[in-house]
Amino acid sequence: MSAPTARTRVFTILGNPVEHSLSPVIQNAAFREAGVDGVYVALRCDAEQMAGFMSGLGRGGGAGNVTLPHKEKAASILDKPSEAVRRTGACNTFWGEDGKLCGDNTDVEGFRRALEHFLGGAVTGYRVLLLGAGGAARAALLSLIDDQAQDVLILNRTVERARAVARRIGGDRVRVAESHSDVDDGDFDLVINTTRLGLDPEDELPFDLERLSRAGAVMDLVYGSSATAFVAASKRLGIPAVDGGEMLVHQGAVAFERWWGEAAPIDAMRRALETARSSPTGA
Ligand code: NAP
């Protein structure tokens, strides 16, 4: 990719906060590797600015991603939501097409691919504890249900939000914990953190794994320049654990496919992520 010109397509990640995001690093690496003419930046914005940014970019040939806490707001702005957006009520990828604002939720497929990579197979028959009930939780839940997880227990700070997610996506394999005591001594093949706890190094852990009788594996959707505290705590207990880095690459690869209509250079994206994480500034 040469220097940007007046023809360069502009991409952005919209959210608040966005400073932690490594999407600009992996997408700009992908654009360079694929030789496409685009530039990707991060834009911190509030909910009421979302419609203006999304439709302005889409009309101008640009596109982008959406991160917390705006994925549900973004879904409500689209003219043409994908099936994944309709089923989750959350959108993380948008672009313009024939004057319409289109959107997808590539977190669903990104989560599925990253989980399969981590487990070395499908989640079929797994008993899962899902922490959180925001946009990322919806994507994870849809993927778990479609891939025949045996059952999923959702634990969220705001119980009503967990109930709403269960009603929207759930079915009879999804239950909601009213409090931590509903989870005590539980036996889970997989524990997934989809809360934002861990983004800030000062955050408490999203869950105390010692309350469980068993946690077979842990996946933390949060990622940073080093292992999250939850991943580190899991490994100290001897539980195999992975953070959200691989999911970031996969959701980004699916977004790249939507925007450019060609396969993403996934190895270049992985390498860019590793380089960013090993640099002192994390970018
Ligand atoms: P969101 O829609 O804003 O949801 C935030 C979730 O965190 C909610 O469940 C919320 O609970 C919970 N939470 C926030 N503060 C909390 C606190 N102090 N104590 C307990 N729970 C708290 O955000 P999101 O879009 O789902 O994103 C969540 C995380 O997933 C972020 O860190 C994001 O970076 C990460 N993520 C990673 C990837 C990836 O590719 N690796 C993809 C998507 C998201 P309440 O409902 O009670 O507010």
pLDDT of the residue at 197: 97
What's the whole-number average pLDDT of the chain?
A: 95
pLDDT greater than 80 at residue 196: yes
Report, as an integer, the average pLDDT of 7-24. Answer: 95
| Structure token pair of residue 32 | 């360079």
Q: Is the CB of 133 under 6 A from ligand 1?
A: yes
Distance of CA 217 to the CA centre of its chain: 19
In this predicted model, what pLDDT tens digit does every residue of 55-104 receive, in sequence order? 999 999 999 999 999 999 999 999 999 999 999 999 999 999 999 999 99
Report, as an integer, the average pLDDT of 253-257. Answer: 98
| Structure token pair of residue 216 | 């077979």
- Whether 9-104+246-278 shares its CATH topology with 108-243 is answered yes
What's the pTM? 0.95
* Cis preceding linkage at 69, omega within 30: yes
In this predicted model, what pLDDT tens digit does every residue of 107-124 receive, in sequence order? 999 999 999 999 999 999
Nearest-5° angle of CA 10, CA 43, CA 66? 85
Q: Is 71 a catalytic residue?
A: yes
pLDDT of the residue at 280: 56
- Give domain 9-104+246-278's CATH superfamily: Leucine Dehydrogenase, chain A, domain 1 (3.40.50.10860)
Q: Is the CB of 135 under 6 A from ligand 1?
A: yes
C-alpha dihedral, 18 to 74 to 65 to 241, nearest 10° = 70
Report, as an integer, the average pLDDT of 143-157. Answer: 97
DSSP letter for 253, please. H
Q: Mind spelling out the 3-state secondary structure of 148-216?
A: CCCEEEEECCCHHHHHHHHHHHHCCCEEECCCHHHCCCCEECEEEECCCCCCCCCCCCCCCHHHCCEEC
pLDDT of the residue at 283: 43
State the Cα–Cα distance between residues 29 and 91, nearest whole angstrom: 23
Q: Is the CB of 221 under 6 A from ligand 1?
A: yes
Query: Where are the domains positioned within the chain?
Result: 9-104+246-278, 108-243
**206 alpha carbon – ligand 1 mean position (Å):** 10
* Residues in contact with 257: Cβ distance below 8 Å, sequence separation at least 6, in sequence order: 263, 264
Give the confidence band of 170 by pLDDT, cuts at 50, 70, 90. Answer: confident
Best residue for ligand 1 mutational test, from 195, 208, 231 (most atoms within 8 Å of Cβ): 195
Sheet bearing 93-97, strands edge to edge: 38-44, 9-15, 63-66, 93-97, 100-104, 80-81
- Give domain 108-243's CATH superfamily: NAD(P)-binding Rossmann-like Domain (3.40.50.720)
